[in-house]
Structure 1
């Protein structure tokens, strides 16, 4: 991957619902295109609270769709006390709960990969793994809510790309 990175920055904030449940609003900060919100190809996303890394994820879905799925699962878990299909949503969502004394806004960086990467999930996961590892090396902490990472030693560009991403967002 030698082309320039397409990175968009968003503000993720609590959006009140009639029932008082946790919902979200994504607002572009550095892009007028908002491509990540409807992007059909593979992407990585990095969630931060101030300068604290919370989570690094990978998806082959629009950023908005990916977050809608997780927020829906989180609301379901809060309402009924059971995971939906074994999934409770992102643990970091609780930071947006208006009933708690927590930040009301998080930052999300989305790294959009070209369609040519759609059939190379292992490469994106390798970049994700290297990105999480680089965060650990630089900050001395894993992202707060990171539960797993994938490494792939077969994709030699993963570390270089991860460093390039981290240098652009920090």
Structure 2
């Protein structure tokens, strides 16, 4: 059983397609980079990006967040990928949950349920969402998404 109140909450400042500062919102400390667990490879993660209380994006990755964000912030459209639509934001709030024991399909199911819950509660999909991976492979996805969303509203 995962602990949905155990997540990372950071404020990131962006400058010229790079993260220029990391602040841990749980204690106000300034960090040099992401928390160690967020840089682990092969560890499934769900992350939510907010700006001024607006939901911008929900993503999943098994990569290190350092690698994933570098790719999404630096993409120029080569090979068709333009990167994150929110990469021009100046300051964002990042919420990240790590899931030791879930498959890619389960994580993507939770991602879709989170996007739908946000749409239901706000009337809008996450504002800078590129795509959502829908599937019906995990019966507990909606319940988990609800538990996660409670912590960041």
Stretches of structure 2 lacking an aligned partner (at least 5 in a row): none
Partner of 2:3 in structure 1?
A: 4
Gaps of 5+ in 1: 16-20, 78-82, 96-103
Superposed displacement of residue 36, structure 1: 4.4
1:30 offset after TM fit, Å? 1.9
Runs of 4+ in 1 over 6 A off after TM superposition: none
Deviations 1:119-165 (A, max 9, x none): x1010000000000000001111100112212222311000000000
Asked if the contact 1:44/1:111 (under 8 Å) is kept, the reply is yes
Distance 1:51 1:58, change over 3 A: same
Match of 2:24 in 1: 28
Name the structure with the higher strand share.
2
Residues 1-170 of structure 1 aligned to structure 2 (within 5 Å): 2-5=1-4, 6-15=6-15, 21-25=16-20, 26-30=22-26, 34-40=35-41, 41-73=43-75, 77=76, 83-95=77-89, 104-114=90-100, 116-117=101-102, 120-170=103-153
In angstroms, what is the RMSD of aligned CA positions?
A: 1.8
Q: Distance in 2 between matches of 1:12 and 1:36?
A: 17
Count of aligned residue pairs for this structure pair: 145
Q: Aligned partners of 2:97 and 2:59: how far apart in 1? A: 10
1:18 corresponding residue in structure 2: none
Q: Which has more radius of gyration? A: 1
Q: Distance in 1 between matches of 2:70 and 2:13?
A: 13
Q: Structure 2 length as normaliser, TM-score?
A: 0.86
1:46 Cα deviation after fit = 0.3
Say which SS state the counterpart of residue 169 (structure 1) adopts.
coil
* Paired residues of 1:36 and 1:63 also in contact (CA < 8 A): no
Distance in 1 between the 2:14 and 2:129 partners? 21
